[in-house]
Amino acid sequence: MSKTWFITGAARGLGAAITRAALAAGDRVVVTGRNRAALVEAFGENSDTVLALALDVTDAAQIQAAVDAATARFGGIDVLVNNAGYGHLGLFEETLAQDARTQFDTNVFGVFDMTRAVLPVMRAQRSGRIFNVSSIGGLAGGASGSIYCASKFAVEGFSESLADEVKGFGIHVTIVEPGFFRTDFLDSSSVRHTDNPIADYAEASAAIRAFYDARSHNQAGDPAKLGQALVALASADQPPIRWAAGTDAIGVVEAKAAGLQAELNAWRDLSASTDGDFAFREEPQTEMAWS
Protein backbone atom coordinates (compact mmCIF):
# COMPACT_ATOMS: atom_id res chain seq x y z
CA MET A 1 0.00 0.00 0.00
CA SER A 2 1.43 3.36 -1.02
CA LYS A 3 2.32 5.97 1.59
CA THR A 4 2.35 9.75 1.77
CA TRP A 5 5.67 11.19 2.94
CA PHE A 6 6.32 14.73 4.20
CA ILE A 7 10.02 15.57 3.97
CA THR A 8 11.68 18.79 5.14
CA GLY A 9 14.92 20.00 3.60
CA ALA A 10 14.16 17.93 0.49
CA ALA A 11 15.88 19.97 -2.20
CA ARG A 12 19.29 18.35 -1.78
CA GLY A 13 21.41 16.02 0.31
CA LEU A 14 19.77 13.32 2.39
CA GLY A 15 16.32 14.88 1.97
CA ALA A 16 16.53 14.62 -1.82
CA ALA A 17 17.84 11.05 -1.64
CA ILE A 18 15.02 9.99 0.68
CA THR A 19 12.50 11.64 -1.65
CA ARG A 20 13.83 9.77 -4.69
CA ALA A 21 13.73 6.46 -2.83
CA ALA A 22 10.13 7.02 -1.71
CA LEU A 23 9.02 7.97 -5.22
CA ALA A 24 10.81 4.94 -6.65
CA ALA A 25 8.84 2.79 -4.22
CA GLY A 26 5.59 4.15 -5.67
CA ASP A 27 4.80 6.51 -2.79
CA ARG A 28 3.61 10.12 -2.76
CA VAL A 29 5.91 12.81 -1.38
CA VAL A 30 5.33 16.32 -0.07
CA VAL A 31 8.73 17.91 -0.70
CA THR A 32 9.49 21.04 1.26
CA GLY A 33 12.32 23.52 1.53
CA ARG A 34 12.97 27.22 1.75
CA ASN A 35 13.38 27.56 -2.04
CA ARG A 36 10.45 26.05 -3.93
CA ALA A 37 12.18 26.63 -7.29
CA ALA A 38 14.96 24.25 -6.21
CA LEU A 39 12.35 21.62 -5.34
CA VAL A 40 10.68 21.97 -8.73
CA GLU A 41 14.06 21.73 -10.46
CA ALA A 42 14.81 18.52 -8.56
CA PHE A 43 11.41 16.79 -8.74
CA GLY A 44 9.30 18.62 -11.30
CA GLU A 45 6.05 20.52 -10.94
CA ASN A 46 3.23 19.24 -8.77
CA SER A 47 1.77 15.94 -9.92
CA ASP A 48 -0.19 12.96 -8.67
CA THR A 49 2.86 11.91 -6.61
CA VAL A 50 4.69 15.15 -5.79
CA LEU A 51 3.61 18.31 -3.98
CA ALA A 52 6.34 20.95 -3.70
CA LEU A 53 5.90 23.55 -0.96
CA ALA A 54 8.05 26.42 0.25
CA LEU A 55 8.75 25.89 3.94
CA ASP A 56 11.09 27.41 6.48
CA VAL A 57 10.89 25.23 9.59
CA THR A 58 11.56 28.25 11.82
CA ASP A 59 8.19 29.70 10.73
CA ALA A 60 5.38 27.97 12.69
CA ALA A 61 2.62 29.53 10.58
CA GLN A 62 4.25 28.31 7.38
CA ILE A 63 4.56 24.83 8.88
CA GLN A 64 0.84 24.64 9.64
CA ALA A 65 -0.06 25.92 6.18
CA ALA A 66 2.14 23.25 4.59
CA VAL A 67 0.60 20.46 6.68
CA ASP A 68 -2.89 21.68 5.78
CA ALA A 69 -1.96 21.74 2.09
CA ALA A 70 -0.49 18.24 2.30
CA THR A 71 -3.57 16.73 3.92
CA ALA A 72 -5.90 18.54 1.54
CA ARG A 73 -3.97 17.17 -1.44
CA PHE A 74 -3.25 13.60 -0.33
CA GLY A 75 -5.69 12.99 2.53
CA GLY A 76 -3.12 12.36 5.25
CA ILE A 77 0.54 12.01 6.16
CA ASP A 78 1.97 8.55 6.78
CA VAL A 79 5.66 9.36 7.15
CA LEU A 80 7.22 12.57 8.46
CA VAL A 81 10.94 13.04 7.87
CA ASN A 82 12.35 15.88 9.97
CA ASN A 83 15.49 16.36 7.91
CA ALA A 84 15.93 20.14 7.59
CA GLY A 85 18.95 21.34 9.52
CA TYR A 86 22.57 22.39 9.30
CA GLY A 87 25.79 22.15 11.27
CA HIS A 88 27.44 25.03 13.06
CA LEU A 89 30.97 23.85 13.80
CA GLY A 90 33.60 25.47 15.95
CA LEU A 91 35.14 25.50 19.40
CA PHE A 92 32.60 26.59 21.98
CA GLU A 93 34.42 29.63 23.37
CA GLU A 94 34.75 30.97 19.84
CA THR A 95 31.01 30.72 19.18
CA LEU A 96 28.54 33.47 19.96
CA ALA A 97 25.32 33.16 21.94
CA GLN A 98 23.34 33.95 18.79
CA ASP A 99 25.09 31.10 16.95
CA ALA A 100 23.62 28.64 19.43
CA ARG A 101 20.15 30.19 19.31
CA THR A 102 20.07 30.10 15.53
CA GLN A 103 21.30 26.50 15.50
CA PHE A 104 18.57 25.44 17.94
CA ASP A 105 15.86 27.40 16.10
CA THR A 106 16.33 25.17 13.06
CA ASN A 107 17.64 21.87 14.39
CA VAL A 108 15.52 21.64 17.54
CA PHE A 109 12.56 24.02 17.60
CA GLY A 110 11.93 23.41 13.91
CA VAL A 111 11.62 19.69 14.67
CA PHE A 112 9.33 20.43 17.63
CA ASP A 113 7.01 22.67 15.62
CA MET A 114 6.93 20.37 12.60
CA THR A 115 6.11 17.36 14.77
CA ARG A 116 3.48 19.26 16.74
CA ALA A 117 1.70 20.15 13.49
CA VAL A 118 1.73 16.60 12.08
CA LEU A 119 0.84 14.63 15.22
CA PRO A 120 -2.90 15.48 15.12
CA VAL A 121 -3.06 14.07 11.59
CA MET A 122 -1.34 10.85 12.62
CA ARG A 123 -3.40 10.48 15.80
CA ALA A 124 -6.59 10.75 13.79
CA GLN A 125 -5.27 8.05 11.46
CA ARG A 126 -4.06 5.96 14.43
CA SER A 127 -0.88 5.35 12.46
CA GLY A 128 2.28 7.10 11.36
CA ARG A 129 6.06 7.03 11.18
CA ILE A 130 8.33 9.87 12.26
CA PHE A 131 11.99 9.86 11.26
CA ASN A 132 13.99 12.50 13.10
CA VAL A 133 17.28 12.90 11.30
CA SER A 134 19.90 13.37 13.97
CA SER A 135 23.58 12.52 13.53
CA ILE A 136 26.11 10.27 15.13
CA GLY A 137 26.96 13.59 16.78
CA GLY A 138 23.65 13.23 18.62
CA LEU A 139 25.12 10.29 20.52
CA ALA A 140 28.78 11.23 20.90
CA GLY A 141 30.12 14.76 21.17
CA GLY A 142 33.53 15.97 20.11
CA ALA A 143 35.67 19.06 19.71
CA SER A 144 34.06 21.63 17.37
CA GLY A 145 30.62 20.07 17.77
CA SER A 146 29.54 21.76 21.00
CA ILE A 147 26.42 23.56 19.75
CA TYR A 148 25.69 21.23 16.81
CA CYS A 149 25.93 18.11 18.95
CA ALA A 150 23.94 19.82 21.70
CA SER A 151 21.12 20.39 19.19
CA LYS A 152 21.18 16.76 18.06
CA PHE A 153 21.37 15.44 21.65
CA ALA A 154 18.22 17.50 22.27
CA VAL A 155 16.50 15.92 19.27
CA GLU A 156 17.40 12.45 20.55
CA GLY A 157 16.06 13.07 24.05
CA PHE A 158 12.90 14.52 22.56
CA SER A 159 12.49 11.59 20.19
CA GLU A 160 12.96 8.90 22.85
CA SER A 161 10.38 10.58 25.06
CA LEU A 162 7.93 11.22 22.22
CA ALA A 163 8.15 7.59 21.10
CA ASP A 164 6.82 6.49 24.48
CA GLU A 165 4.02 9.06 24.40
CA VAL A 166 2.60 8.24 20.97
CA LYS A 167 3.13 4.49 20.60
CA GLY A 168 -0.43 3.86 21.82
CA PHE A 169 -1.73 5.65 18.71
CA GLY A 170 0.17 3.40 16.32
CA ILE A 171 2.81 6.07 15.73
CA HIS A 172 6.48 4.99 15.62
CA VAL A 173 9.40 7.37 16.13
CA THR A 174 12.88 6.54 14.85
CA ILE A 175 16.05 8.56 15.40
CA VAL A 176 18.27 8.39 12.32
CA GLU A 177 21.98 8.71 13.16
CA PRO A 178 24.03 9.11 9.98
CA GLY A 179 27.79 9.03 10.02
CA PHE A 180 29.65 10.89 7.26
CA PHE A 181 27.55 10.90 4.05
CA ARG A 182 28.48 12.36 0.67
CA THR A 183 26.25 15.44 0.76
CA ASP A 184 26.67 19.21 0.94
CA PHE A 185 26.69 19.09 4.75
CA LEU A 186 30.37 20.15 4.98
CA ASP A 187 30.14 22.42 1.93
CA SER A 188 30.27 26.19 2.38
CA SER A 189 26.69 26.32 1.10
CA SER A 190 25.52 24.46 4.21
CA VAL A 191 27.94 24.27 7.11
CA ARG A 192 28.66 27.32 9.23
CA HIS A 193 31.92 27.87 11.08
CA THR A 194 32.61 30.12 14.03
CA ASP A 195 33.92 33.58 13.20
CA ASN A 196 35.08 34.81 16.58
CA PRO A 197 38.77 33.76 16.74
CA ILE A 198 40.67 33.49 20.01
CA ALA A 199 44.45 33.28 19.74
CA ASP A 200 44.80 30.39 22.21
CA TYR A 201 42.60 28.22 19.98
CA ALA A 202 44.14 29.22 16.63
CA GLU A 203 46.07 25.99 16.04
CA ALA A 204 43.20 23.72 17.12
CA SER A 205 40.65 25.68 15.08
CA ALA A 206 42.78 25.51 11.93
CA ALA A 207 43.29 21.75 12.32
CA ILE A 208 39.58 21.12 12.78
CA ARG A 209 38.65 23.25 9.76
CA ALA A 210 41.22 21.40 7.63
CA PHE A 211 39.84 18.05 8.84
CA TYR A 212 36.31 18.87 7.70
CA ASP A 213 37.34 20.60 4.46
CA ALA A 214 39.28 17.50 3.41
CA ARG A 215 36.21 15.33 3.89
CA SER A 216 33.69 17.55 2.13
CA HIS A 217 32.19 15.56 -0.80
CA ASN A 218 34.58 12.69 0.01
CA GLN A 219 32.48 11.03 2.70
CA ALA A 220 31.97 7.27 2.53
CA GLY A 221 28.19 7.15 3.03
CA ASP A 222 25.89 6.84 0.00
CA PRO A 223 22.76 9.02 0.39
CA ALA A 224 20.80 6.89 -2.10
CA LYS A 225 21.33 3.79 0.03
CA LEU A 226 20.22 5.66 3.15
CA GLY A 227 17.05 6.68 1.33
CA GLN A 228 16.35 3.07 0.38
CA ALA A 229 16.94 1.99 3.98
CA LEU A 230 14.39 4.50 5.29
CA VAL A 231 11.82 3.19 2.80
CA ALA A 232 12.41 -0.28 4.27
CA LEU A 233 12.17 1.04 7.85
CA ALA A 234 8.91 2.83 7.01
CA SER A 235 7.33 -0.57 6.37
CA ALA A 236 8.88 -2.41 9.33
CA ASP A 237 6.34 -3.68 11.86
CA GLN A 238 8.55 -2.70 14.82
CA PRO A 239 11.10 -0.12 13.65
CA PRO A 240 13.98 0.78 15.98
CA ILE A 241 13.89 3.90 18.12
CA ARG A 242 17.54 4.55 17.22
CA TRP A 243 19.07 3.56 13.87
CA ALA A 244 22.74 4.11 12.98
CA ALA A 245 23.50 4.69 9.28
CA GLY A 246 26.92 3.64 8.01
CA THR A 247 29.76 1.52 9.32
CA ASP A 248 31.40 4.59 10.83
CA ALA A 249 28.19 5.25 12.77
CA ILE A 250 28.12 1.63 13.96
CA GLY A 251 31.67 2.06 15.25
CA VAL A 252 30.74 5.19 17.19
CA VAL A 253 27.71 3.48 18.77
CA GLU A 254 29.80 0.48 19.79
CA ALA A 255 32.52 2.69 21.29
CA LYS A 256 29.96 4.81 23.14
CA ALA A 257 28.22 1.74 24.59
CA ALA A 258 31.53 0.21 25.69
CA GLY A 259 32.71 3.49 27.20
CA LEU A 260 29.47 3.99 29.14
CA GLN A 261 29.65 0.47 30.54
CA ALA A 262 33.30 0.81 31.52
CA GLU A 263 32.76 4.17 33.23
CA LEU A 264 29.66 2.88 35.04
CA ASN A 265 31.58 -0.11 36.35
CA ALA A 266 34.56 2.00 37.43
CA TRP A 267 32.38 4.29 39.55
CA ARG A 268 29.59 1.87 40.45
CA ASP A 269 30.29 1.77 44.20
CA LEU A 270 30.37 5.56 44.53
CA SER A 271 27.18 5.83 42.47
CA ALA A 272 25.39 3.27 44.66
CA SER A 273 26.58 5.00 47.83
CA THR A 274 24.18 7.91 47.24
CA ASP A 275 21.05 5.80 47.95
CA GLY A 276 19.15 6.72 51.08
CA ASP A 277 18.71 4.25 53.96
CA PHE A 278 14.96 3.73 53.60
CA ALA A 279 12.74 0.96 54.93
CA PHE A 280 12.13 -0.29 51.38
CA ARG A 281 13.94 0.15 48.12
CA GLU A 282 12.21 0.60 44.77
CA GLU A 283 13.18 -1.53 41.82
CA PRO A 284 15.73 0.16 39.52
CA GLN A 285 13.94 2.43 37.08
CA THR A 286 14.43 2.11 33.35
CA GLU A 287 11.99 4.86 32.32
CA MET A 288 11.62 8.44 33.56
CA ALA A 289 14.57 7.99 35.92
CA TRP A 290 15.63 11.61 35.53
CA SER A 291 15.31 14.15 38.33
Q: Is 124 left (phi over 0), alpha (psi -120 to 50) or beta?
A: alpha
Q: Is 148 a known active-site residue?
A: yes
Q: Kindly compute the dihedral angle of the four CA atoms of residues 214, 216, 217, 219, in this order, to the nearest 10 degrees.
A: 80
The dihedral sign for the CA sequence 48, 21, 103, 291: positive
Task: State which H helix or E strand residue 262 sits in.
Answer: helix 247-266
Bridge partners of residue 33, in order along the sequence: 54
Q: Which of 86, 135, 146, 148 is catalytic?
A: 148
Catalytic residue among 134, 144, 146, 151, which? 134
Rounded to whole angstroms, how far apart are CA atoms 250 and 214?
Answer: 22
Q: Is 134 a catalytic residue?
A: yes
Active-site annotation holder among 86, 135, 151, 152: 152
Whether residue 86 lies in the annotated active site: no
Give the residue numbers marked as catalytic. Answer: 134, 148, 152
